[in-house]
Amino acid sequence: MPHYCTLIPGDGIGPEVAHAAVRAVEATGVDICWRRSELNEAIILESGKTLPHYLLDSLNETHVGLKGPVTTPVAGGFQSVNVALRKALDLFANVRPVRTLPGIKTRFDDVRIDMVIFRENTEDLYSGLEHEIVKDVVTSLKVITRIASERIARYAFNYAKTNRRRQVTAIHKANIMKLADGLFLRCCREVAAQFPEIQYKELIVDNASLQLVIRPETFDILLLPNLYGDIVSDLAAGLVGGLGIVPGANMGETHAIFEAVHGSAPDIAGQGKANPTALMLSAVMLLTHLGENESACKLQNAVETVYREGKQLTGDVGGTASTEEFTDAVLRTIKA
């Protein structure tokens, strides 16, 4: 029986990196059948729906998705598709491994960075509850609940335990948002007490940003509410070479969608410049989720080999190769 997986290429650089990731997954020899679901700004504007029925139907059938970015309009326009999808399928945990890849020149050449970010994915300032009380006065609701905070904390600690990680750092601003971040922190502490074998630390988000830049190698598992998780993810990506290489997974009880940390990068879309590594490594997480560990290892090792050799890298990581040339190099390595 093949695995069935919903493929959402998205827009901007999405279709280019999705095509590359699909080629790489198929090269591993895994038996996978893609259910392609188009979703982009034009479709959303035309249908007037953020999440078309065919997309949810497909995901309810397959329960797993590989997704490229979908553009979110800034300051107006339709609701973020990414946020809507996470809420609709209750994909409460956003998991983002941030690791040094061999051969990439960064400011931290002498240290090995290996952290995993656990970002709460359903609430906080992403509740979408904003309104203008009177002209030029706007409120935006930050929603923090015990149920969501405990759930992401438990997910992070369970991951730490299963994967033999040593430390979880909860990141917050509870000195200012005493009630909201205070509740998040209380939940983290209660869950931490159930995992005495894992060291538990807390950092205020501004200090955490400083420490991440000064000594990134000291971080292990990061546990954050939604907004700080979003911002710290991009910061962490910058530490290891940029958004082109950091993968991610949106995990729920019944569904999982794998997508890169980066957005649709309209500045380089359609030019063959996009780095597909982040979506390929998201596909490694997908293969692991499907229990296809051998294929996952093949793809992970092939990507690392191409980086180690350093001859076919894309522009964002200091090379001159196109999306296709990089992908061809990964495929050649898998086949070798």
Residue ranges that bind ligand ATP, judged by CB under 6 A? 13, 17, 69, 72, 234, 243-244, 262-265, 267-268, 274-275, 278, 316
Residue with Cβ nearer ligand ATP (97 or 263): 263
Q: Shortest distance, CB of residue 82 to ligand ATP, whole angstroms? A: 8
Q: Shortest distance, CB of residue 230 to ligand ATP, whole angstroms? A: 8
Catalytic residue among 173, 181, 228, 273: 173
Residue with Cβ nearer ligand ATP (100 or 264): 264
Residue with Cβ nearer ligand ATP (72 or 209): 72
Residue with Cβ nearer ligand ATP (26 or 234): 234
Residue with Cβ nearer ligand ATP (225 or 244): 244
**Contact status, residue 229 vs residue 117, Cβ threshold 8 Å:** yes
Catalytic residue among 124, 181, 230, 316: 230
CA distances for 154 relative to 102, 103, 187, 188, 230, angstroms: 32, 35, 9, 8, 19
**Contact status, residue 159 vs residue 153, Cβ threshold 8 Å:** no
Active site (annotated) includes residue 181: no
- Residue 33 makes CB contacts below 8 A (sequence gap 6+) with 2, 3, 4, 5
Residue with Cβ nearer ligand ATP (62 or 277): 277
The DSSP annotation for 122-146 comes to S-BGGG--EEEEETTEEEE--B--H
Active site (annotated) includes residue 54: no
CA distance 239 to 4: 35
CA distance 64 to 87: 15
Cβ-proximal residue to ligand ATP, closest one: 263
Strands 256-259 and 249-251, sheet pairing: antiparallel
Active site (annotated) includes residue 200: no
- Residue 34 makes CB contacts below 8 A (sequence gap 6+) with 5, 6, 7, 22, 66
Q: Shortest distance, CB of residue 253 to ligand ATP, whole angstroms? A: 25
**Contact status, residue 315 vs residue 291, Cβ threshold 8 Å:** no
Helix residue spans in 194-316 (DSSP H): 205-214, 226-240, 277-289, 293-309
- Residue 322 makes CB contacts below 8 A (sequence gap 6+) with 272, 273, 314
Active site (annotated) includes residue 328: no
Catalytic residue among 126, 155, 200, 228: 126
Q: Shortest distance, CB of residue 1 to ligand ATP, whole angstroms? A: 33
HSE-CB for 14 with a 13 A CA cutoff: 23
Cα–Cα–Cα angle for 279, 280, 281, rounded to 5 degrees: 90
Q: At what angle do helices 146-162 and 180-193 cross, to 10 degrees?
A: 40
Residue with Cβ nearer ligand ATP (12 or 225): 12
Q: Shortest distance, CB of residue 11 to ligand ATP, whole angstroms? A: 11
CA distance 222 to 230: 12
Q: Shortest distance, CB of residue 320 to ligand ATP, whole angstroms? A: 13
Q: Shortest distance, CB of residue 324 to ligand ATP, whole angstroms? A: 13
Active-site annotation, residues: 126, 173, 206, 230
